Chains A and B, each alone.
Chain A
Amino acid sequence: MTACPDWQHRLQGLIDDELDAAHAAEVEAHVTTCAGCAQARDDALALRRRLGGEGVRARAPDRLLARLDAAIGAATTTVPVRRSTAVGRFERAFWAFGGAGAAIAACAVLAVMAVPALQTADLEHQLVASHVRSQLAGHLIDVATSDQHVVKPWFGGKIDFSPPVVDLADQGFPIVGGRLDYIGGRTVAAVVYRRGRHVINLFAWPDRKALGPDEAKLGDGYTLLHWTKGGMTFWAVSDVAETDLKTFRQLAEDRSPA
């Protein structure tokens, strides 16, 4: 009993979610009438489950990580390089030629917009750095549990606020654990979720004011989403697909207390 050769490619497309709705419906209809293709699909899904199992995916040994770290160090100059980006040139030109009026106007603009924007950019950078660090150093979680009722009290003894810890496992975002981190000059709570093989760090700290744009997509393969609710500021950082992270935000926002 084998899969039909004619359907082979489309069947893979269905398994890998690479088909548009019309084609997916077509293949699904075929699979209901063809035992061979149904078997091939079930086999592929079972294989996927096994490949996601414990110890199947190899992790880089510490020795290798140390070598990579050394290689980066060796490839980096020790002399601070003068910034020569377009922004730097613009700034220099601005201060060289701008009149007093322009300077005053610019100060006002900067005070209102640019400084918060810069702070936000720096904050985003720190969040991404924390997300990256958390995956590198085996420092992902301080408390490892899939139980929200364990994570929340764990934070209770360590920080002066109580971050909401919502269970999203039924929506495909199981909790992995929690940890403390230091972002933007304060200790923040990070609840770690998983989506497939991707990790989502959900940072939370008390702050009512909304900052920056509602969403910020960094070019480095990481997406950041931000929202405020119940007096808390939340940042979700991950390399999952942007649509997944938006779903995650929606769910987390809906389920956290107002």
Chain B
Amino acid sequence: MAAGASAAQVVEARFPAENRRDSLVLTPTPASAPSPLSPDEARRFREVVLPHADAAYNLALRLARRGDVAEDIVHDAYVRALAAFRGYRGGDGRSWILTIVRNRFYDWAREQRLKATAPLARPANDPDDDDTDWDPPDLEQDSPEQALARKGEAGALHALIDGLPARWREVLILREMDELSYREIAAVTESPIGSVMSRLARARSALAAAWRKREADMAEASS
């Protein structure tokens, strides 16, 4: 896993933790509110950024794995996009909002991590504390076996994807569901293209193996 370690280092180097502290997802909008958009700018925002709300929510949901948090992350990302829209110089509105959504997710995840390290702040049902990727444990998830047995194909896919590391989930979602190119994914995730390809390869291979196991289990159960 040498490549994984170096990718994590790259991310850490590009996202120094101290720069992230002031942007937690639940903090209120900064007091220095930007000047409002003109009706024309607002209309342009509705055309350029708003249509990607589904993509934004889908990414947020698969990263955070909780619907309520995903809604907050997307809402927060749009508030920030509105504040920054005057400086928006064109380009792909989808990549832009997905980048903001992704950053908001890591802010939220980091906040969860800080909370989790305070011993009395939350119940001690958190066996996954050594998670190195600011990826909070998936509290809502059943055990994989339960999930696979209970849910249909879409639910089973969700459960399997949600079991991957966040860095793999994001490249998989951006590639397969948002149809972004490697370059766009590299820009959104602020990762080298080589890391994007490595994570994609691992995510695919892990999901293929998990799916094969699911089918074998189902065949066994029905026999």
Contact = CB atoms under 8 A, between A and B. Distances in A.
B158 A56 contact: yes
A125 B41 CA distance: 14
B47 A44 contact: no
A125 to B, nearest CB: 9
Interface residues of B, number: 57
Contacts of B42: 72-73, 75-76
B127 interface: no
Contacts of B78: 68, 71-72
A80 interface: yes
A51 B157 contact: yes
Interface string B7-50: 00000000000000000000000000011111111101111101
Interface string A112-125: 00000000000000
Given A8-B201, A135-B51, A196-B179, A75 B58 contact: no
Given A54-B154, A68-B78, A81-B38, A44 B208 contact: yes
A239 B194 CA distance: 27
- Chain A interface bracket (under 10, 10 to 19, 20 to 34, 35 or more): 35 or more
B39 A80 contact: yes
A64 interface: yes
Interface string A8-34: 110111011010000000000000000
Interface in A29-80: 40, 43-44, 46-48, 50-51, 53-61, 63-65, 67-68, 71-73, 75-77, 80
B197 A64 contact: no
Contacts of A58: 54, 57-58, 61-62, 70
B71 A64 contact: yes
A71 B82 contact: yes
B177 A60 contact: no
A221 interface: yes
B214 to A, nearest CB: 11
Main DSSP-derived SS at the B contact region:
helix
A52 B70 CA distance: 21
A72 B157 contact: no
A68 to B, nearest CB: 5
B197 A75 contact: no
Contact of B71 (A9, A51, A67): A67
A60 B74 contact: yes
A128 B93 CA distance: 14
Interface of B: 34-42, 44-48, 50-51, 53-54, 56-58, 61-62, 67, 70-71, 74-75, 78-79, 82-83, 90, 92-94, 152-154, 157-158, 175-177, 179, 181-182, 194, 197-198, 200-201, 204-205, 207-208, 211
Given A61-B57, A68-B78, A76-B36, 9 more contacts: A9-B197, A13-B182, A55-B154, A58-B61, A58-B70, A68-B75, A72-B42, A129-B47, A239-B94
Interface of A: 2-3, 8-9, 11-13, 15-16, 18, 40, 43-44, 46-48, 50-51, 53-61, 63-65, 67-68, 71-73, 75-77, 80-81, 128-129, 132, 135-136, 196-198, 219-222, 239
